[in-house]
Amino acid sequence: MTTDIHHLKRLVRELEKIRGTGTQLISLYIPPGYPRGDLSSMLTDEYSKAGNIKSKQTRKNVQAALQKIMVYLKSIDYKIPETGLIIFCGNVSPDPGKSDIRLWAVVPPQPSPKIYRCDSTFYLDPLKAMVKPSDVYGIVVMDGKEGTVALVKGNTYEVVGRVRSLAPGKHHKGGQSARRFERLIEQAEHEYHKKLAEVIKKAFWDIRHDLKGIIFGGPGPHKNEFLNADYLPNELKQKILGVVDTGYTDEYGIREAMEAAKDILKDAEIMLQKKEVERFIGEAVKGGLVSFGVRQVYEDLKLGKVEELLISEDLEAWKGTFVCDNCGHRMEIVDTSREKIESMEVRCPLCGSPMRLESVEDAVEEIIQLAEDTGAKIIFVSPETEEGLKLKKGFGGIGAFLRYR
C-alpha cells in the first residue's frame, strides 16, 4: 500500500495518464470503519450489474477488475486502515484486444469518502485534494493604485485576485473645486481599499485556520496606511507576519515580496527549494562536492556518498538490468528514457559478449529508497518554479550534495 505524500503525488501523475478503451477503470474509495459485509455485498452487486454491459470486452475487463479487487480485500482480510482505503483497478493495456488488469491500493493521508466509480479514467479529485501542500501563506502587494493577492502553497504560488483604484489623478484646481476633488479622491481610495479588503477576505478567510501567515508588500507607505485602518478583520490581521518593500504591485511584485520576506518565510517549502537549488548550482559551477544526472547520482547513492538529494517531482527514470548469457555477469544501467534503455546494445565488461536486457523497472522509487536507507536528506523540487526548471534543464532533474569525493 502507498502512504507517503510524495509517493502519492507521483502515483496521481501516473494514474492521470491512463485511459481506458471503455468505461472500465474502477475507482473505489472506502471510508474508515466501513462494514466488511456491506463492502462485500456492494462489490458482488457491482459484479452482477457489470454482466449487463453490452460490449463484451468492456464487460470482461470490468468484471476482471472487480474480481481482482475482491481477491485483494480478502488477502488483507478486509482490514481497512484508520483513514480508509482507496483502490484503483482496471485494464491499462493501450490495446483494446489485450488485457492487463492492474491494481493500486492507497492509504489516504486523510479520511476517505465513500465513492465507487467506473469510467474511462480514474477518479482522482478526492486524492488530489488530500495531497495538496499543507503550508499555505498569503502575499499581498499594493500601492495607492493597484493591489495583487496571491497564495503560496507548498512550493508554488497562485495569483487569486487583482484590484485597481478608480481614484482620479492629481489636479491643479483651487478653491471649492479643489476641496470637492479631494473628497472624490478620498471616496475613490476608500472604495478601492474596501474592494481590496474584500478580495483578501475572499482569498484567505475560509482557509484562515490553515494559513500560516500573510506578508504585505509594496512601494511607499500606502500598505502601512491600509493596515493601520480597519479594513481587515482582526483574525486576519493577527496572521500578518511582516511588511516588506517592493518596487511593483503585480505578479512580479509577488515574487519580489517572497524574496524580500525570505527570512520570514524561511520554513516555507518554496523558499527552502530556492535556497538549496541556488546553493547546488553555485557548488556545481565551481566544481564543488556535488553530482548530477540520474546515472551519476544513482551510483553515488548506492555507495552512500549522498548527503542531500534534490529531485524534481516529475522526474522519470528507468533501470535496465542486463545479463551476460556467456559468463553470467549482471549489470544495471539507469536512464531517463525507457526507449533508450530498450534499444541499447551492451557488451559484457568481463568477457565482451553481447548482454541481454532482462528487465526494465521504474528507478525513481529505488532512488528515493536508497536516499532514505543511507540517511540522505531529500528535497523534492517543483518543476513549476524557476529553480525547478533550472534543475530540470541544466542537471537532468536530479542533483546531490556529497559527503565525500
Q: Point out which residues pair with 211 in neighbouring strands.
A: 136
Among 73-82, 91-100, 220-229, 345-354, name the one with the lowest average pLDDT: 91-100
Q: Which CATH superfamily is domain 136-267 in?
A: eRF1 domain 2 (3.30.420.60)
* Residue 33, all three cell numbers: 470503519
Determine the residue type at 170: K
Res. 212: pLDDT tops 90: no
Q: What is the rounded average pLDDT for all residues in the chain? A: 91
Res. 135: pLDDT tops 80: no
24-57 pLDDT per residue, tens? 999 999 999 999 999 999 999 999 999 999 999 9
Instruction: Give ranges for CATH 3.30.960.10 in the chain.
Output: 5-130
> Measured between alpha carbons, how far is residue 377 from residues 15, 331, 369 in Å?
27, 27, 11
261-303 pLDDT per residue, tens? 888 887 777 888 899 999 999 999 999 999 999 999 999 999 9
**How large is the average pLDDT for residues 192-201?**
96
The reported pLDDT for the residue numbered 237 is 93
Q: Alpha-carbon distance 314 to 377, whole Å? A: 18
> Measured between alpha carbons, how far is residue 122 from residues 26, 142, 314, 336, 395 in Å?
7, 42, 19, 26, 33
**How large is the average pLDDT for residues 200-205?**
95
Instruction: Give ranges for CATH 3.30.420.60 in the chain.
Output: 136-267
The reported pLDDT for the residue numbered 175 is 52
**How large is the average pLDDT for residues 178-195?**
85
Cβ-Cβ contacts under 8 Å for 151 (sequence gap 6 or more): 136, 137, 138, 139, 157, 158, 160, 203
Q: Alpha-carbon distance 405 to 402, whole Å? A: 7
Q: What percent of the chain has pLDDT over 70?
A: 95
* 3-class SS of residue 288: coil
Res. 318: pLDDT tops 80: yes
Contact predicate 116/28, CB 8 Å: yes
The reported pLDDT for the residue numbered 278 is 95
Q: In this structure, which topology does domain 5-130 adopt according to CATH?
A: 3.30.960
The reported pLDDT for the residue numbered 263 is 80
Nearest to 294 by CA among 402, 405, 381, 397: 397
The reported pLDDT for the residue numbered 163 is 96
Query: Residue 399 — very low, low, confident or very high, per pLDDT cuts 50/70/90?
Result: very high
Largest CA distance in the chain: 103
Res. 332: pLDDT tops 80: yes
Res. 155: pLDDT tops 90: no
Among 104-113, 121-130, 164-173, name the one with the lowest average pLDDT: 164-173
* 3-class SS of residue 355: coil
The reported pLDDT for the residue numbered 300 is 97
Strand ranges of the sheet holding 377-381, from the earlier edge strand across to the other edge: 290-292, 398-402, 306-312, 377-381
Q: Alpha-carbon distance 210 to 201, whole Å? A: 14
The reported pLDDT for the residue numbered 1 is 46
Res. 106: pLDDT tops 50: yes
Contact predicate 295/399, CB 8 Å: no
Q: Alpha-carbon distance 131 to 134, whole Å? A: 8
Instruction: Give ranges for CATH 3.30.1330.30 in the chain.
Output: 273-402
The reported pLDDT for the residue numbered 94 is 81
Res. 3: pLDDT tops 50: no
Q: Which residue has the cell 536507507?
A: 373
pTM of the predicted structure, to 2 decimals:
0.71
The reported pLDDT for the residue numbered 209 is 83
The reported pLDDT for the residue numbered 174 is 53
Cβ-Cβ contacts under 8 Å for 75 (sequence gap 6 or more): none
The half-sphere exposure of 349 on its side-chain side, counting CA atoms within 13 A, is: 5
**Domain at 273-402, CATH from 3.90.25.10, 3.30.750.24, 3.40.50.300, 3.30.1330.30:** 3.30.1330.30
Res. 4: pLDDT tops 80: no
The reported pLDDT for the residue numbered 236 is 94
Q: Alpha-carbon distance 182 to 179, whole Å? A: 5
Query: Residue 210 — very low, low, confident or very high, per pLDDT cuts 50/70/90?
Result: confident
The reported pLDDT for the residue numbered 269 is 76
* Residue 211, all three cell numbers: 494559513
* Residue 330, all three cell numbers: 549482471
Res. 15: pLDDT tops 50: yes
% helix / strand / coil in the chain, to the nearest 5? 40, 25, 35
Backbone angles phi, psi at 137, to 5 degrees: -120, 150
Strand ranges of the sheet holding 115-119, from the earlier edge strand across to the other edge: 101-106, 85-91, 25-30, 115-119
Among 88-102, 215-229, 255-269, 299-313, name the one with the lowest average pLDDT: 255-269
Taking the alpha carbons at both ends of the chain, their separation in whole angstroms is 37
